[in-house]
Amino acid sequence: MKKNMPLKEWLPLLGMTFSAFVVNTSEFMPIGLLTNIAADFGITEAHAGLLISVYAWVVMLLSLPLMLLVCRMEMRKLLLCTLALFGVCQILSTVSGSFGALMASRIGVACSHAVFWSIASPIAVRVVSEEHRPLALSMIVTGSSVAMIFGLPLGRAIGLHIGWRMTFLCVGLLAFAIFAYLLKVAPRLPSRQTFTLRELPRLLRNPLLLGIYWLAALVATAYYTAYSYIEPFLKQVAQLPESWITMTLALFGVSGILGSFLFSWLYSRFPHTFIKLSLGGIAGALLLLYPASFQTGAVILLCCFWGVAATAFNIVCQAEIIKHTQQEATAVAMSIFSGIFNLGIGCGTLLGGAVCTYSSISRIGFAGGLVAVGAFFYCTRRLLKRLNP
CATH topology identical between 9-191 and 195-389: yes
Alpha helices per DSSP H over the chain = 7-41, 45-48, 50-70, 75-95, 99-126, 133-146, 152-162, 164-185, 200-204, 207-227, 230-236, 242-266, 271-287, 289-292, 296-323, 330-358, 364-378, 384-386
On whether the CB atoms of residues 38 and 47 are closer than 8 A, the answer is yes
Question: What is the pLDDT, as a whole number, of residue 108?
Answer: 94
What pTM does this model have?
0.75
CATH class of 195-389: mainly alpha
Sketch the domain layout of the chain as residue ranges: 9-191, 195-389
pLDDT value at position 241? 86
| Average pLDDT across the chain, whole number | 84
The fold of 9-191 is Growth Hormone; Chain: A; (1.20.1250)
pLDDT 10s digits, 260-318: 788 878 887 888 889 999 999 999 999 999 999 999 999 999 999 998 998 889 888 88
Confidence grade of residue 34 (pLDDT, cut at 50, 70, 90): low
Give the model's pLDDT for residue 123: 87
